[in-house]
Amino acid sequence: MKTSSHAPWMTALALAASVSVCPATLAADSNPPKPDTPLSALIVGGGPDIPHNQVAIESNVVYVRSLLPPSAATRILFADGNTKTEDVLYEGKKQRELTRATVLPAIDAPSVSASIDGETKRLAQATSKPALLYFTGHGSPNETGDFDNNQYDLWDKNELTVRGLATSLDSVPSSTPVTLVMAQCFSGSFGNLIFQNGDPSAPLADRNLCGFFASIAQRPAAGCTTEINAKYYHDFTSYFFAALSGKDRLGKTTDGADYNGDGKVGMDEAFAYTLIHDDSIDTPVCTSDIFLRRFAKTPDDAVFKTPYSQVLSWATPAQRAAIDALSDQLKLTGEGRLGDAYKTFATTLLASWETKDVRIIRFVRLAKTIVLSHELETSDNASLKARYDALKAAEAGNPLTGPAAPSPLLAVVAAAKTPDAPTPEYLAHQTYTLGKMLPPPVVTIDVSDAPETKAWAENAQKVVTQWFPLITPFLATQDWTPPKTLKLILKHENDAPAYTDSDGITISAQWITDHPDDFGMVIHELTHVVQSYPDKGDKPGWLVEGIADYIRFWRYEPDVPRPRIDPAKAKYTDAYRTTAAFIAWAQGKYDRSLILRLDGALRTGTYHDSLFETITGKPVDTLWTEFLKTVPPPIHKPSVTMTIS
């Protein structure tokens, strides 16, 4: 099967022909849905131009349209909106790329911004009637590096960001249940539509919406091929809708997705079916995943220490089937398999297309969702639990057959406006404030002084490429310009395990020979690259090193045993792991923006120890005294190890 070798987010958009674009969608009141219509469906398809308007996208539109109830009020936005334009790209004989007119008998409007606005206004007139919004095409990461606000690529270089769609959906009343399914690259970002303005740091929106997406916000998705034979299509749309409808693209029966045995298949079950069977690069995500990562607070080191049998006992039938299947595919065994998978995940390139890496990402994310769900369900926050339960109930519905009962989200949205709703102070405490995710530099290696370390250096190169964009959101990088290149230098003569300077990261060949698994050291040094504090103001070394070790031990390798702190001897200014443990504790207990704000002050040259009190309400010495009370007495004297600059 031939797939497109270029994507809109990787290449400049160029029209292959002069294309006339049809007028924008009809006015909102020109053809409103009939009041007795059980479902309003909007299908948005097509690429941003002819070279990216592959036939598989058109096939998705045809397939999903065929599954909708005959009574559904369906609207289709596709490409330029003209059924006569030869704008569908397909593969002919001898792998020649050709174009033809669409097979769609009718198109309601072009896939442009004005059409989206018009269609959401139409939905606003169908109060309380459920709506299904399906998008199939191309997606791009936000050009500013903000993966929380990615975009769907509309026709003729129009774009629809998360914030843009949130604005359009504001006209739809909360009494209208909306299901959003998106199959494009980087689509997981649109899960943020459960928040006001599509902003994950904002309160929950008064919006009756649930959604399913082909990939996490940082990854591409499968499906944009010029192959005309649908039997070769392996993508999110194929598996999700086959499970949901019981019929695949070729009309064959699809069964095995009724995991709870109630005789019906909900979207949550179709989602689990897709996690198991989709053998593409897709890493599906749903709105409840987004919800949990915002409001549940169990740290990763605790999540992935959870015994596997406990996870199974907390999982829904669909989740249990999916995590068991993924575990078998990955050949994971034993009670500690979450931890084993997480260690593998920590060194997996997030952009990898390897099947085993894709499955590791799916397994780790699903396991975390199950554990966080249990935490939230057993919490004492009644309004947050009610909102989560309502979201899960909506995700268990099936827009193709209708919900088993009226969606409970409307009542919960109303309840969320009561004094029981989470306060801003609660949200600030529970939610990590994140900086901007930045693209990695071009990483090169220099092993001229230690050629025997080449294989290790190449693995370190992958770790740096993957983890650079994952480190930047935890620090105040919004105004920082990252380096375009970064060199890893392996040398024999090196007194320390590693150090960072203007030349790059220099690593001791002897150290990695003795400690071949120590990629955490690389993460520590990579954090120094991201820190790159200007030469002004107070920059205490203990805090600089403490932040670097926090990224290493609390983000990169949280399962690695850490030496115990001796309360009788330790000081918060001891740097490295001691300082890291202290600021991690203070951040978890008082304010999850602490480390980002400390880093921001170091960057602007405005840091002072009093900043701890400004953020947490307590002086740093008081915090330290309180922290020491949580530290168990040492069992033995910590072993002495080389420090890392």
Average pLDDT, the chain: 85
- Write down the pLDDT at residue 476: 86
- Write down the pLDDT at residue 464: 92
For 542-563, the pLDDT digits (tens) are 999 999 999 998 888 876 667 7
Position 401 confidence tier, pLDDT thresholds 50, 70, 90: confident
Amino acid at 494: N
Cα–Cα distance measured from residue 239 to residue 314, given in angstroms and rounded to the nearest whole number: 25
Query: What's the whole-model pTM score?
Result: 0.62
Residue 31 pLDDT greater than 60, yes or no:
no
For 426-462, the pLDDT digits (tens) are 444 444 456 667 888 999 999 999 999 999 999 999 9
Residue 306 pLDDT greater than 90, yes or no:
yes
Give me the torsion for CA of 66, 68, 73, 75, rounded to 10°.
Answer: -50
Position 633 confidence tier, pLDDT thresholds 50, 70, 90: low
Residue 641 pLDDT greater than 80, yes or no:
no
CA distances from residue 391 to 187, 396, 409 in whole angstroms, order as listed: 19, 9, 7
For 213-244, the pLDDT digits (tens) are 999 999 999 988 888 888 888 899 999 999 99
* Contact status, residue 489 vs residue 456, Cβ threshold 8 Å: no
- The predicted model gives 606-633 an average pLDDT of 91
Position 576 confidence tier, pLDDT thresholds 50, 70, 90: very high
For 263-273, the pLDDT digits (tens) are 999 999 999 99
Residue 7 pLDDT greater than 50, yes or no:
no
Which domains, ranges and CATH numbers included, belong to the chain?
Answer: 40-298+381-396 (3.40.50.1460), 442-630 (no CATH)
Q: Name the packing angle between helices 576-589 and 620-628 (round to 10°).
A: 100
Residue 415 pLDDT greater than 90, yes or no:
no
The continuous run of DSSP H or E covering 392 comes out as helix 382-395
Residue 146 pLDDT greater than 70, yes or no:
yes
- Write down the pLDDT at residue 538: 86
Ranking 107-121, 258-272, 619-633 by mean pLDDT, the lowest is 619-633
Position 20 confidence tier, pLDDT thresholds 50, 70, 90: very low
Half-sphere exposure of 102 (CA within 13 A, CB side): 29
Residue 527 pLDDT greater than 90, yes or no:
yes
Q: Which residue has the tokens 């004492």?
A: 380
Alpha helices in 68-188 (DSSP H): 113-125, 162-169
Is the C-alpha dihedral spanning 474, 480, 484, 485 positive or negative? negative
Q: In angstroms, how far is CA 289 from the centroid of its own chain?
A: 9
- Write down the pLDDT at residue 403: 45
- Write down the pLDDT at residue 143: 74
Residue 105 pLDDT greater than 50, yes or no:
yes
- Write down the pLDDT at residue 402: 54
For 60-70, the pLDDT digits (tens) are 999 999 999 98
- Write down the pLDDT at residue 227: 86
Cα–Cα distance measured from residue 40 to residue 25, given in angstroms and rounded to the nearest whole number: 16
Position 135 confidence tier, pLDDT thresholds 50, 70, 90: very high
3-state SS track over 408-458: CHHHHHHHCCCCCCCCHHHHHHHCCCCCCCCCCCEEEEECCCCHHHHHHHH
- Write down the pLDDT at residue 428: 45
- The predicted model gives 371-391 an average pLDDT of 94
The continuous run of DSSP H or E covering 613 comes out as helix 611-616
CA distances from residue 161 to 31, 294, 306, 437, 625 in whole angstroms, order as listed: 27, 20, 37, 17, 47
Ranking 264-273, 409-418, 594-603 by mean pLDDT, the lowest is 409-418
Q: Which residues of 20-46 are buried (b: 16+ CB within 10 A; e: fewer)?
A: ebbebbeebeeebbeeebebbbbbbbb
Ranking 275-289, 368-382, 466-480 by mean pLDDT, the lowest is 466-480
